[in-house]
């Protein structure tokens, strides 16, 4: 048992871990983007509501005039070491652009929610709220 635990710790140390700071400091265009035919104020509200509907913790939000960001994390579970992510909503009037970027906490993790799945869920939530089913 001790060998297994030590082996797991060594593997995690060698493979690296994603953190909120990695996500926050990533380029603004990192991730998957989609434009929405909705004003910035509405899209940022819907993006926040959409991510709140997922099984994640909201770590921070920031509104800096024309750019709104949400940093979130998904806790560790029986099947995943957890994930961290960021949503950025940009005002590109008359539209808004939503970019979703996430990483699994452990690079070698096979299970868990990947960036495509987070983006799809968030975009679908916004579409649903806008009536774009």
- Do residues 31 and 119 make contact, with C-beta atoms less than 8 angstroms apart? yes
Is 109:73 a contact under the CB 8 Å cutoff? no
Residue 102's pLDDT is 86
| Contact between residue 86 and residue 101 where contact means Cβ atoms under 8 Å apart | yes
pLDDT score recorded for residue 37: 96
Q: Say if CB 49 and CB 111 are below 8 A apart.
A: no
pLDDT in tens, 57-111: 999 999 998 999 999 998 776 666 678 899 999 999 999 999 999 876 656 565 5
Q: Which of 118, 103, 119 is nearest to 16 (CA)?
A: 103
Give pLDDT, residue 105.
61
Please report the pLDDT score of residue 1 as a whole number. 57
Give the gyration radius of the chain's Cα atoms. 16
Say which residue, 69 or 25, is predicted with more confidence.
Answer: 69
Domains observed in the chain: 17-130 (3.30.310.240)
| Residue 26: other Cβ atoms inside 10 A | 15
Backbone angles phi, psi at 52, to 5 degrees: -65, -25
pLDDT reported for residue 24: 76
pLDDT of residue 103: 77
Asked if residues 67 and 89 have their Cβ atoms less than 8 Å apart, the reply is yes
What confidence tier does 25 reach under pLDDT thresholds 50, 70, 90? confident
- Give the pLDDT confidence score for residue 11 in this predicted structure: 45
């Amino acid at each position: 048992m001790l060998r297994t635990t030590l082996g797991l710790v060594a593997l995690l140390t060698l493979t690296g871990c994603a953190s909120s700071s990695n996500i926050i400091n990533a380029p603004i265009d990192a991730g998957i983007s989609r434009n929405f035919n909705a004003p910035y104020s509405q899209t940022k509200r819907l993006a926040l509501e959409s991510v709140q509907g997922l099984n994640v913790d909201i770590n921070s939000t920031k509104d800096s005039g024309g750019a709104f960001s949400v940093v979130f994390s998904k806790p560790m579970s029986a099947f995943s070491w957890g994930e961290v992510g960021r949503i950025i909503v940009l005002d590109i009037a008359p539209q808004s652009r939503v970019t979703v970027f996430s990483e699994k906490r452990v690079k070698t993790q096979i299970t868990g929610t990947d960036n495509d799945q987070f983006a799809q869920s968030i975009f679908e939530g916004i579409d649903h709220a806008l009536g774009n089913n």
